[in-house]
Structure 1
Amino acid sequence: MRQIENVVRDRGSKYAVSGGPVQGRAGCAAFLTELKRQKKYAKATHNSWACILSDGGPVKDDDGETGAGAVILRMLERAELTDTIIVVTRWYGGVHLGGDRFAHVVTCVRAWLEDAATD
């Protein structure tokens, strides 16, 4: 599991991104369970995620952050990345960010993809 914390801070909200290889829907569920074993991720406002499964196609979950899963999914499609889950975590800071939240999701996914490319 590759995690990058404090990717974006905006008006009190904080963002992090995590990701790694998975196999099938069960692998996605196991990844999320493992992530949420860390108390701060379990208490996060949103853990939005997406994955393109080689044996099941695209799957995503906004976790209450409407549209975030679709943004992550589009970026995975562009990167032609399969069997890898990316989770963007947000701790809500009390101020609605409007459309800026989508830019922050993009920034997080881009940071993860760039970090993964350095291996």
Structure 2
Amino acid sequence: MVIVKANTHYKGEPTISGVVTDATTKKPLADVSITATHTTTKTVHQISTNENGSFKVNQLPTGTYKFKFEKENYKAVEKNNVKVKTETATKLNVEIFNNEDVTEEELVWQLKFGLR
């Protein structure tokens, strides 16, 4: 599940922040690799979550981004069409599933099509 919320009353540089949690346990996940790719310029920004599962990206150029969240033993999550606007703070909270929570059928499909 991905929650995107913009705070239009925020004044300052554009930021995107949030928390990444385990979808089953609801516990925050540290060291999740996050890749933000500007869809027009293809500029890539990479960060990781801290020990509390939190992340914050400052000074992103305005535009539309694709975010990818990856952690070993977890299914990667992509969020497309994340808008970064001038003087807007955007919240992007994400839940990712442990691979153990993936059904056998899903796992076979992932392996068959090289998605793991």
Q: TM-score, normalised by structure 2?
A: 0.32
Q: TM-score, normalised by structure 1?
A: 0.31
- Of Structure 1 and Structure 2, the greater strand share is in 2
- Of Structure 1 and Structure 2, the greater helix share is in 1
